[in-house]
């Protein structure tokens, strides 16, 4: 089970919603939760998975929301939480990532914190460790247009030499090429063991969480600007690099 190596727990805080009176959010701060259940609107009937229900409560189901209040995406990640649990491998901010990527990072949070990361909305949605981890996040991207760094491209299957589409979009084709480069089994997704293999190749701590240190090391390796934030420019440089070396 992949765990964050950050030295603090990540409780959820906050009580603001774009069109509702109150809602819980992820943050790195350690203060208590002030959200009141009576201010929340129940999960809507159209939600397809437990994460849809959490997002309905957190953000009215808007996976690309950014109101400028410091919390991002359908599950309202604080930026530090997004980075701390490996979100930078998908996009620089949660609202720029696809729905599936946001769920994948949320599952990492769930492993460490449990449903309490969303103290009010998890109760409303019926979120548990078991049903939260049972959702296939990448299946959720089937009808999701995504946004920003992780838009709709890169949908190919197992890559052959030099055929990675250079579009700045992370997806199965780029992940598969990375797995080939790393000598891993190719399934078009970046597992914890794949991430650890990447970290070993880059000479950084192999904890299976891709954060700023791993990202900066990769950026240096592929010739991108080493700012520790994985965005579309990093993905483009990676795709060009993989086409050169495969």
Residue 155: Cβ within 10 Å count? 12
pLDDT of 127: 95
pLDDT of 84: 86
Q: Which residues of the chain have pLDDT under 70?
A: 1-47, 140-162
pLDDT of 196: 93
Phi, psi for residue 9 in degrees, rounded to 5: -80, 160
pLDDT of 141: 63
Q: How far apart are CA 186 and CA 119, in angstroms?
A: 37
Side-chain-side CA neighbours of 242 within 13 Å: the count stands at: 28
The torsion of the CA quartet 182, 185, 191, 196, rounded to 10 degrees, works out to -40
Bridge partners of residue 25, in order along the sequence: 13
pLDDT of 155: 47
Phi, psi for residue 74 in degrees, rounded to 5: -60, -30
Q: What are the percentages of helix, strand and coil residues in the chain, rounded to 5?
A: 45, 5, 50
pLDDT of 36: 36
**How does DSSP classify residue 66?**
B
Q: What angle do CA 166, 172, 175 make, to 5 degrees?
A: 75
Residue 162: Cβ within 10 Å count? 11
Q: How far apart are CA 192 and CA 139, in angstroms?
A: 18
Asked if 20 and 40 touch (Cβ cutoff 8 Å), the reply is yes
158 Cβ contact partners less than 8 Å away, ≥ 6 residues apart: 176, 186, 188
């Amino acid at each position: 089970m992949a765990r964050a190596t950050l030295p603090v727990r990540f409780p959820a805080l906050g009580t603001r919603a774009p069109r509702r009176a109150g809602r819980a959010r992820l943050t790195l701060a350690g203060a208590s939760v002030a959200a009141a259940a009576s201010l929340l609107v129940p999960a809507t009937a159209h939600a397809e998975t437990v994460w849809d229900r959490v997002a309905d409560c957190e953000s009215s189901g808007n996976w690309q929301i950014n109101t400028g209040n410091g919390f991002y995406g359908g599950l309202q990640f604080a930026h530090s939480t997004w980075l701390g649990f490996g979100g930078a491998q998908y996009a620089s901010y949660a609202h720029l990532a696809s729905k599936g990527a946001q769920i994948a990072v949320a599952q990492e949070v769930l492993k460490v914190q449990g449903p309490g990361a969303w103290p009010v909305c998890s109760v409303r949605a019926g979120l548990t460790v078991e049903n939260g981890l049972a959702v296939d996040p990448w299946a959720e991207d089937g009808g999701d247009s995504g946004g920003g760094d992780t838009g709709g491209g890169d949908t190919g299957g197992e890559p052959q030499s030099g055929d990675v589409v250079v579009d700045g979009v992370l997806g199965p084709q780029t992940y598969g090429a990375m797995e080939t480069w790393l000598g891993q089994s190719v399934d078009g997704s970046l597992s914890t063991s794949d991430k650890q293999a990447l970290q070993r190749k880059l000479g950084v701590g192999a904890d299976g969480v891709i954060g700023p240190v791993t990202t900066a090391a990769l950026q240096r390796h592929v010739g991108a600007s080493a700012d520790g934030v994985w965005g579309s420019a990093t993905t483009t440089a990676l795709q060009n690099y993989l086409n050169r070396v495969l």
